[in-house]
Amino acid sequence: MSTNAVAARPEAPPEANLKKQLKRADRLRKFKAIGLVAPLALFLIVVFVLPIGSMLWRSVDNTELESVMPRTVAGLQQWDGSDLPEEATLAAFAAELRDSRRGGGLGKVGRRLNYEDNQYRGLLMRTLRGLPASSENWTQTLIEIDPAWGETTTWREIQRASPPVTDRYVLASLDLERGADGEIQRIDAQNRIYQSVFKRTMVIAGGVTLICLALGFPLAYLLATLPPKTSNLLMILVLLPFWTSLLVRTAAWIILLQSNGLINQSLIATGIIDTPLQLVFNRIGVFFAMVHILLPFMILPLYSVMKGISPSYQRAAVSLGAHPFAAFWQVYAPQTISGVAAGTILVFIMALGYYITPALVGGPADQMVSYYVAYYTNTTNNWGMAAALGSILLALTLLLYLVYHRLVNRKQLIRS
Amino acid sequence: MKKNNLMRTRLARSVAVSGLLTAGLAASAGAQALTVISFGGASGDAMQKAYYGPFEEKTGIELTPGDYNGELSRIRAMVETGNVSWDLVEMESPEMVRGCFEGLFEPIDWQRLGLGDVLIDSAFDECGVGSFVWSTVLAYDADALEAAPASWEDFWNVEDFPGTRGLRRGAKYTLEFALMADGVPNEEVYDVLMTEEGVDRAFAKLDELKDHIQWWEAGAQPPQWLVAGDVVMTSSYNGRIAAAQEEGNNLEIVWDGSLYDLDYWAIVSGSEHVDEAYQFIEFASQPENQAVYSSEIPYGPVHPDAIDQLDEEQARRMPTHADNLEGALAINTGFWVDYGEQLEQRFNAWATH
């Protein structure tokens, strides 16, 4: 610090002023930065955070009944479940059922109650048709329309479907359900599917990633070491699939792999096999098509990392007496680890969400989680199940990513 | 909770506003015209020729055709916001039943329609009038098989009819066919399927054939597989097989044990042209107009007399030809709307193991 500044201190103002100016400039810079980032942040919030948030919410959302039949729900909350609910509750139910047809409320309630028991949609429909304008005794009237209303289980199931939040979709996505007493139990063996679907999704995605790595690593190495002229040409061949639609590529694999397809025909013609091999509509077809589609996503990060590794390290290792393989494995390979990490995580996460390719070239035992998400979204309109399956897949992906991140980082630390 | 509700109301409002804008635009495009929405494509072209054009000519009612992909959500948005720009919509039966349940369609007043009960039985529904009939049939490659299969029992008989079979990947159709193959009479199929033992029985029957099945998903696959020789017989939509036959392939259809379903006309709840919509439905249900439609595309007319106006070869390809209807079963849409999800889950679990 100069003596000038020390001397100036008693008259403090100029420095305070400077500080203020500095602060102001700082603030301005911050605003500018925020202003520049804002569009992207807004974009991310709108297309990423909000949809994911709403998906997570939907997987536990259970407000169908509450929104359409608030008084019935309130009445059933008081009910102890031993005898039939009070007359007032039933009257409220009758009134709300009549009003529910307007604005699609009935559909919501019917769909939701049908998850508890398949009979509800028909029961509500029959009841609505037979519902009189007024009644002295609604309990009596409802039972006359359909005796099911005289059973406590009918009402207990409605009560069970009433709370605004539910874990039924999340549990169902793990092949679990709540028993009669509310304890969590596994569903009947013949209906269990999602645990194996999640396992299958992981196995297929992991398998595709490993095959991509095994095929992509040597190819990327070749690309990085060849003279530019040849490597550019090869690079175009690697990128070529990017220019064709995914659907076309998948369909092309079906044509190649089917029983009378090119591959089977040429194998038979050369006498290697007698009867055609089943290469498509099973796991083999899924691996073929997915590896082909995802391979570039492995090669590109590997290539860009390998391009930056100087060949002199390996040469130095060899000149110091290392076996060429040791030089490659101990000197070269560790330097590619960030490319391997980027490539594998990219391919794995993309493979996790694959839908159309397994749907077209796989059999029923090769469908991944996204197939069931699409089924629930498009075919049955059960968005709770679709959201729950999606949420669990998201959680699993994040978990795996964290573990992977840890592992790769530690490895890099050890190597360095 | 509160916050979430608020968010949803806001979302609903913005959706409503955009719905309003679209509806407003559509309304200004054709203020007095009857808007008829179909699935488009080849079927839409046939409708244009058979119904739209002649109807405008005959009645002078202006008609605005459009197409969509069967999404109930679009109709739901219109009805919920009270801006109904579509009047008459072609619906597939599950969506028609769901939409009817949700109050999205006007209940059909059969007196007002004045068709009596001439149409085939399944054409009458609470909110829908049948438009045409399509069918899922047993189709086989006549060149690949020495003997001709005649039923689903033969389909299950791999000794006398060796070769891979194709079935649709899913519980729908598949369980019905399995029960038929197990000797359940057509009229009892859905009663049996409603019981747990019946479902067990269907899956036990499927177990027998499991190793010989190649599962299709898209309607284009079965004829393609038959032609390519991947399968010797398969379930398939009849229209697809007809198209492949026209290309000169020696494919045959077994109508016995076929499952048929209808597409329906439904009037959107809150439409301002209900009268015109009824007129249109009545016009489109006339045998001579249905015959024109069916001669354009091999989907069956719902009016029995329409068959007689087609030439013999065309008539034989229709699911509604008297001979073809005899051993056929109507798909019970209500059953699949109620039980579908549960059975599909069981099917998926079964198919995996």
User: Is the confidence at residue B228, as pLDDT, over 50?
Assistant: yes
Helix A194-225 vs helix A283-307: crossing angle, to nearest 10: 40
On the question of pLDDT at B340 being above 90, the answer is: no
CATH number of the structural domain spanning residue B333: 3.40.190.10
pLDDT at A102: 72
Q: How many domains does chain B have?
A: 2
A98: closest chain B residue by CA? B103
**What's the ipTM?**
0.78
A372 and B348: CB-CB below 8 Å? yes
Residue B221: per-residue pLDDT: 87
* Residue B24 confidence class, pLDDT cut points 50, 70, 90: very low
Q: What is the mean pLDDT of residues B37-58?
A: 91
Proportion of chain A above pLDDT 90, given as a percent: 58
- Taking CA atoms, B100 is separated from A24, A68, A114, B241, in Å, by 64, 18, 16, 32
Chain B closest CA to A268's CA: distance in Å? 15
Same domain, B346 and B295: no
Rounded-to-integer distance, Cα B324 and Cα B316, Å: 8
Q: What percent of chain B has pLDDT over 90?
A: 57
Residue A60: band (very low, low, confident or very high) from pLDDT cuts 50, 70, 90: very high
Tell me if A104 and B80 make a contact (CB, 8 A cut-off).
yes
pLDDT band of residue A10 (cuts 50, 70, 90) is low
Is the domain of B104 the same as that of B6? yes
CA-atom Rg of chain B in angstroms = 22
Q: Which residue of A49, A199, A259, A373 is the best one to mutate when testing the B interface, meaning the one whose CB has the most B CBs within 10 A?
A: A259
Which of A45, A190, A204 has the highest number of chain B CBs within 10 A, making it the mutation to test binding with B? A190
pLDDT at B152: 97
Task: Answer yes or no: do B210 and B305 share one domain.
Answer: no
**Top mean-pLDDT range of A24-38, A107-121, B97-111:** A24-38
Residues B126 and B69 occupy one common structural domain: yes
Q: What 8-state DSSP symbol labels residue B240? A: H
Q: In the predicted model, what is the mean pLDDT of residues A241-254? A: 87
Q: What is the pLDDT of residues A144-155, one digit of tens each?
A: 999 999 999 999
- Chain A residue closest to B334 (CA)? A122
Residues of the domain holding B176: 134-261+329-352
In chain B, the residue whose alpha carbon lies closest to the alpha carbon of A197 is B352
Looking at the fold, whether B345 and B206 belong to one and the same domain comes out as: yes
Using alpha carbons, list the distances in angstroms from residue A69 to A33, A180, A268, B102: 50, 24, 67, 15
User: Of B123, B97, B86, which Cα lies nearest the Cα of B268?
Assistant: B86
Work out the average pLDDT over A354-359: 91
Same structural domain, B248 and B288: no
Say if residue B159 is in the same domain as residue B256: yes
**Nearest in space to A400 (alpha carbons), one of A341, A349, A361:** A349
Q: Looking at the structure, do residues B68 and B78 belong to the same domain, yes or no?
A: yes
Q: Which residues in chain B have Cβ-Cβ distances shorter than 8 Å to A361? A: none
Task: Output the six-digit token pair for A360.
Answer: 């077209």
Residues B108 and B150 in one domain: no
pLDDT at B8 over 50: no
Q: What distance in Å separates residue B139's CA from the closest CA in chain A?
A: 19
Q: B67 and B88 share a domain?
A: yes
* Residue A354: predicted pLDDT: 92
Chain B residues whose C-beta is within 8 A of a chain A C-beta are 1, 4, 72, 76, 79-80, 98-99, 101-104, 169, 203, 214-215, 217-218, 228-230, 334, 337-342, 344-346, 348-352
| pLDDT for residue B14 | 47
Question: Span B78-91, mean pLDDT?
Answer: 90
Please determine, for residue B194, whether its predicted confidence score (pLDDT) is greater than 90: yes
Q: How confident is the model at residue A303, as a pLDDT?
A: 94
Res. A395 pLDDT band, cuts 50 70 90: very high
CB contacts, 8 Å: A260 with chain B? 228-230
pLDDT-derived band at B263 (thresholds 50, 70, 90) equals: very high
Phi-psi region of B270 (alpha: psi -120 to 50; beta: other; left: phi over 0): left
The answer to whether residues B174 and B289 belong to one domain is no
Residue-level pLDDT at A400: 87
Please tell me the distance in Å from A185's CA to the nearest CA on chain B.
Answer: 18
The reported pLDDT for the residue numbered B4 is 43
pLDDT at A414 over 50: yes
Cα B352 to Cα B169: distance, rounded to the nearest angstrom: 12
**Residues making up chain B, counted from first to last:** 353
pLDDT digits (tens, 9 = 90+) for B26-36: 444 444 689 99
Regarding whether B49 and B71 lie in a shared domain, the answer is yes
Residue B212 has pLDDT above 50, yes or no: yes
The confidence score (pLDDT) of residue B27 equals 42
Proportion of chain A above pLDDT 70, given as a percent: 95
What is the pLDDT at residue B102? 82
Task: Report yes or no: A348 and A358 within 8 Å, Cβ to Cβ.
Answer: no
Shortest alpha-carbon distance between residue A369 and chain B (Å)? 12
The pLDDT value recorded for residue A76 is 92
**pLDDT for A277 beyond 90:** no
Partner-chain contact B102 A104, CB within 8 Å: yes
A106·B104 Cβ contact <8 A = no
When comparing pLDDT for B5 and A190, which is higher?
A190
pLDDT of residue A411: 60
Which one has a higher pLDDT value, A209 or A179?
A209
pLDDT higher than threshold 70 for residue B272: yes
Instruction: Give the closest-approach CA distance of B156 to chain A in angstroms.
Output: 19
Q: Is the pLDDT of residue A63 over 80?
A: yes
**Average pLDDT across chain A, whole number:** 89
**Minimum-distance CB partner of B337 among A121, A193, A363:** A121
